[in-house]
């Protein structure tokens, strides 16, 4: 598979921060939101209000009146700052918790006591002493990186080696591991002297959060027309020492958002119907339980071999579906109704083609199977709000 050239665009549209990742001049990922303090990723000293055994969870207050949800299985290795005499989690206990899921609709924010510290190449994970390596790293790379991280093994925490570490130098890799280890020790040590509801660690600023998750070895350029974004990005670049060009764009006649057609991309990413070059189209319909995607021939007509045409449309749709999942940040269960293919070989070819595109997604995405009815099942891990939720729409 050829190396994809990518660039990151940071701007504001209608006072809303917008970030777009382009690969080979095509937008493949969007982040959009009102710039305000988010609690996602923050580490607090929370107080247990009550434990509900039948749902195996506790409700924990992280600020006066702000209740969150903590699964008991994620509190087994908790760091307590104040503990009621008991061998289990009980009301009035105070402990370190990290917000891992934003509150969505009627759901309270989700917490974990197994907090993580995220770097560009590594994630330090409290309570899990294993070393995990990204499945997207090849075997030779995994062997090398495992050797590098082994000296940092600890009885209190483990490590996850990210895909970004594939081509990092040993010096940068070890420096980040040492920095994350120091940060962990500082958090745990200082927590003992902090009061309930204290924010022990605040999440990274907007651009830094985006860069840690959307920035990778193939990023050739980062462009912004916002002076505050530019300063933050340049500072991040200095610390990461990553060879990437950072450009400040200035043109009153042609704003950056117009240059990259971001307003149209945002508009199209909210539409139910997605047209493709062939004249065929997708219909994307989110529901409470799942997202349903239907592939339609539309204006595309078969010239000779109908099944050959259907396979071609389905493959075009497969690539576009993988792109739309990232752009719209669709998660959970996705069911795709492709155009019916009569030949088993064609169905296998389509499934392999779809899987190749899904594997490019940095968010864990799994191609489950094709059912007897010809419906394709996909699952995608929930990490952040969908684009429609970021924009304040109902989905």
247-257: per-residue pLDDT in tens?
Answer: 999 999 999 99
Residues of the chain with pLDDT under 70: 1-4, 33-37, 105, 215-217, 239-243, 302-303, 393-395
Residue 1: per-residue pLDDT: 47
Tell me the fold of 272-390: Aminopeptidase (3.40.630)
HSE (side-chain half, CA atoms, 13 Å) at 24: 4
Three-class SS state of 333: strand
What tens digit of pLDDT does each residue of 150-209 get?
999 999 999 999 988 988 899 989 999 999 999 999 999 999 999 999 999 998 888 888
pTM for the full predicted model: 0.76
The domain over range 1-36+204-268 is classified in CATH as 3.30.420: yes
Residue 394: per-residue pLDDT: 45
Residue 27: per-residue pLDDT: 95
CATH 3.30.420 residue window(s) in the chain:
1-36+204-268
- Work out the mean pLDDT of the chain and round it to a whole number: 91
HSE (side-chain half, CA atoms, 13 Å) at 266: 24
CATH 2.40.50.140 residue window(s) in the chain:
39-202
Three-class SS state of 78: coil
Kindly state the greatest CA–CA separation across the chain: 78
In a 10 Å sphere around its CB, with 0-12 CB exposed, 13-18 middle and 19+ buried, how is residue 351 labelled?
middle
Which CATH class name applies to 39-202? mainly beta
């Amino acid at each position: 598979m050829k190396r994809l050239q990518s660039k990151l665009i940071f701007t504001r549209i209608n006072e809303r921060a917008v970030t777009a990742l382009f690969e080979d001049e095509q937008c493949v990922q969007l982040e959009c939101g009102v710039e305000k303090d988010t609690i996602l990723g923050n580490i607090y000293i929370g107080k247990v209000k009550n434990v509900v055994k039948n749902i195996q969870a506790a409700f924990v207050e992280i600020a006066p009146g702000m209740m969150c949800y903590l699964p008991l299985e994620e509190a087994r290795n908790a760091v307590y700052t104040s503990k009621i005499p008991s061998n289990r989690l009980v009301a009035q206990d105070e402990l370190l918790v990290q917000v891992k899921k934003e509150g969505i609709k009627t759901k309270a924010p989700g917490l974990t006591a197994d907090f993580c510290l995220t770097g560009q190449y590594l994630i330090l994970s409290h309570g899990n002493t294993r070393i995990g390596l990204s499945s997207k790293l090849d075997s030779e790379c995994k062997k090398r990186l495992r050797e590098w991280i082994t000296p940092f093994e600890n009885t209190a925490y483990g490590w996850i080696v990210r895909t970004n570490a594939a081509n990092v130098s040993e010096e940068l890799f070890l420096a980040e591991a040492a920095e994350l280890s120091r940060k962990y020790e500082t958090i745990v040590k200082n927590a003992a002297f902090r009061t309930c509801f204290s924010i022990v660690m605040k999440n990274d600023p907007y651009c830094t959060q985006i860069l840690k998750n959307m920035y990778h070895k193939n990023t050739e350029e980062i462009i912004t027309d916002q002076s505050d974004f530019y300063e933050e990005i340049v500072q991040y670049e200095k610390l990461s020492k990553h060879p990437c060009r950072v450009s400040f764009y200035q043109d009153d006649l042609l704003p950056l958002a117009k240059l990259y057609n971001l307003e149209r991309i945002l508009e199209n990413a909210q539409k139910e119907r997605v047209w493709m070059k062939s004249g065929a189209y997708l219909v994307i319909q989110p529901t409470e339980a799942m997202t349903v995607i239907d592939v339609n021939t539309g204006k595309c007509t078969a010239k000779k071999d109908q099944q050959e045409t259907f396979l071609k449309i389905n493959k075009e749709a497969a690539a576009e579906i993988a792109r739309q999942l990232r752009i719209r940040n669709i998660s959970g269960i996705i069911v795709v109704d492709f155009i019916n293919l009569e030949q088993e070989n064609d169905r296998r070819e389509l499934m392999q083609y779809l899987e190749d595109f899904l594997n490019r997604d940095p968010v864990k995405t799994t191609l489950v199977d094709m059912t007897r009815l010809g419906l394709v099942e996909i699952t995608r891990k929930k990490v952040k709000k969908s684009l429609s939720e970021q924009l304040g729409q109902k989905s």
